[in-house]
Amino acid sequence: MFRLVCVNCGADYNQNEIIYHCPKCGHLLTVEYDMDTIDISRAEWDKRPLRLWRYKELLPVAGEPVSLQEGGTPLYHLKTIGKELGLKELYAKHEGMNPSGSFKDRGMTVGVSMAIQLGMKTVACASTGNTSASLAVYAAKAGIPAVVLLPAGKVALGKVAQALMHGAKVIAIRGNFDKALEMVHDLCINEGLYLLNSVNPYRLEGQKTIGFEAVDQLGGVPDRFVLPVGNAGNISAVYKGLLELQNLGFIDSLPMMTGIQAEGASPVVDAIHNKREVLVPEANPETVATAIRIGAPVNAEKALRAIRETNGTAIAVTDEEILAMQRSLARKEGIGVEPASAASVAGIKKLAEEGLIDKDERIVCVVTGHLLKDPEAVIKQCEPPTEIDANLESLLSVLR
């Protein structure tokens, strides 16, 4: 049993209401379960395959979900990078290994399943790329139309390709992501489409399972959980999930939630460092990590709470630091991620080098999307292939 509850005034609403904000005060909603009715043990979960739907008792979907086997992503020990930084227990949870190549699939398997359960006919989102790719995939699986709004010219090629190929109606607006989100929100409210950005409380329910899996894979709670922050839904979701595990008595501590933003789009970092209650939006966000090129994160209230309540922190990294870490992950660990994803590990590098974290901490960095999402960012950083005549002599001459 669960209800929708306002994170600000605590007003509660029936689970079947199609609302994204509290009608009384306008703040975001969250899904609150009656923990006394949750009938599950850790031993029972452990018997099931490591996949998102292993945790179905803490998810809102009643029937058969719209699923492509999301979750169960690898948790890699970053031995080489960890050694360089003096961190023995540095891990990366590779969310790029989900069906569409990003963590958004966790949100969409739940969000699109809820759309069907609630009788919605069309789903929609604004996106810096991954949300649209994932929505297109899950809408295709469900057999319903999807409408996606993108900031024109600012979305990585692989993501646009996915949204187009999976059959979404793709619209590029002359404006940034924040404007696109405002527009799609109005569209959904006025025309009855189902909004599947992270203002949708059900979508975030799926994303909280990143934390569940990491705890299960490590056999305990990490000291620190590090995530790249854009619209700030993911860090909020992971924190919410871990709180639920604590309420159930499955874990007895919480990790320090740590958010990493790009310097050109870092309003959450600004709010943490300047102890602001309300975030000051960045009017013209800019970064090579287009996935987190967001100036007005809609989940800021939830994210600030997650960071503050766990004694976590937030830090900004430069585009150069992001790209350097993307290369390090690829070349020293064999892990291919898109630029925004490398931000989490680049942030930990900075915190370690500046002496701001304890080197004995057990740290999980979420790397959020696959390398192939943004081929242009890769090609720009690498030497082109060496072209030679098709004979052994030419081959040997370039290898010598």
Ligand X SMILES: Cc1ncc(COP(=O)(O)O)c(C=O)c1O
Per the annotation, where are the binding residues? Answer: 130, 230-234, 368
Binding-site string for ligand LJ64HWYM from residue 183 to residue 222, where x marks contact by CB under 6 A and - marks none: --------------xx------------------------
Q: C-beta of 318: minimal distance to ligand X in Å?
A: 17
Decide if 326 contacts 339 (C-beta within 8 A).
yes
Among 70, 226, 368, 371, binds ligand X (CB under 6 A): 368
Work out how close the CB of 132 gets to ligand X at its nearest, in angstroms, rounded to a whole number: 10
Size of the site for ligand LJ64HWYM (CB under 6 A): 13
Number of residues that bind ligand X (CB under 6 A): 18
Exactly one of 82, 158, 228, 267 binds ligand X (CB under 6 A); that residue is: 228
Q: Give yes or no for a contact between 132 and 168, defined as CB atoms under 8 angstroms apart.
A: yes
In the list 73, 102, 266, 310, the residue contacting ligand X (rule: CB under 6 A) is 102
Phi/psi region, residue 67 (left: phi>0; alpha: psi -120 to 50; beta: rest), is beta
Q: Is 265 in the site for ligand LJ64HWYM (CB under 6 A)?
A: no
Which uninterrupted H or E stretch holds 316?
Answer: strand 313-317
Q: What DSSP character marks residue 387?
A: P
The binder of 197, among ligand LJ64HWYM, ligand X, none, by C-beta within 5 to 8 A per type, is ligand LJ64HWYM
69, 60 contact by CB (below 8 A): no
Residue type, 254: L
State both tokens at 199. Answer: 């203002």
Annotated binding site for pyridoxal 5'-phosphate: 130, 230-234, 368
229 to 248: interface string for ligand X, x by CB under 6 A: xxxxxx--------------
- Residue 232's binding partner among ligand X, ligand LJ64HWYM, none (Cβ under 5 to 8 angstroms by kind) is ligand X
User: How is residue 387 written in tokens?
Assistant: 């072209």
Q: Pick from ligand LJ64HWYM, ligand X, none: which does 127 bind, CB < 5 to 8 A by kind?
A: ligand LJ64HWYM
| Residue at token pair 């404006």 | 175
Residue 223 neighbours by CB distance under 10 Å? 17
Instruction: Mark 100-132 as b/e (b = at least 16 C-beta within 10 Å).
Output: bbbbbbbbbbbbbbbbbbeebebbbbbbbbbbb
Decide if residue 316 touches ligand X (CB under 6 A).
Answer: no
- Could you say whether residue 60 binds ligand LJ64HWYM (CB under 6 A)? no
**What's the rounded Cα separation, in Å, for the pair 368 and 362?**
19
Residues 6+ apart with CB under 8 A from 117: 61, 62, 63
Burial class of residue 26 in the structure, from the number of CB atoms within 10 Å of its CB (0-12 exposed, 13-18 middle, 19+ buried): exposed
Q: What are the percentages of helix, strand and coil residues in the chain, rounded to 5? A: 45, 15, 40
Residue 290 binding partner per list ligand LJ64HWYM, ligand X, none, with a CB distance cut-off of 5 to 8 Å that depends on partner kind: none
Under the binding rule (CB under 6 A), the answer on residue 230 touching ligand LJ64HWYM is yes
CA 174, 178, 182, 185 torsion-angle sign: positive
Go through the chain and tell me how many residues it has. 400
Choose which of 96, 101, 206, 233 interacts with ligand LJ64HWYM (CB under 6 A): 233
Pick the binder of ligand LJ64HWYM from 30, 231, 236, 266 (CB under 6 A): 231
Cα gap 266→262, rounded to integer Å: 6
Residue 67 binds ligand LJ64HWYM, judged by CB under 6 A: no
**Site membership for ligand LJ64HWYM, residue 127 (CB under 6 A):** yes
Please give the sequence-ordered ranges of beta strands (E in DSSP) within 89-211, or none if there are none.
89-94, 123-126, 146-151, 169-173, 194-195
At its nearest, how many Å lie between ligand X and the CB of residue 400? 40
Only segment of 39-47, 67-75, 223-231, 350-358 that touches ligand X (CB under 6 A): 223-231
310 binds, among ligand X, ligand LJ64HWYM, none (CB under 5 to 8 A by kind): none
258 contacts ligand LJ64HWYM (rule: CB under 6 A):
no
- 30 part of the interface to ligand LJ64HWYM, by CB under 6 A: no
Task: Please report, as ranges, the residues that interact with ligand X according to CB under 6 A.
Answer: 102, 128, 130, 198, 228-234, 291-292, 338, 340-341, 368-369
Which residues contact ligand LJ64HWYM by CB under 6 A? 104, 125, 127-131, 197-198, 230-231, 233, 291
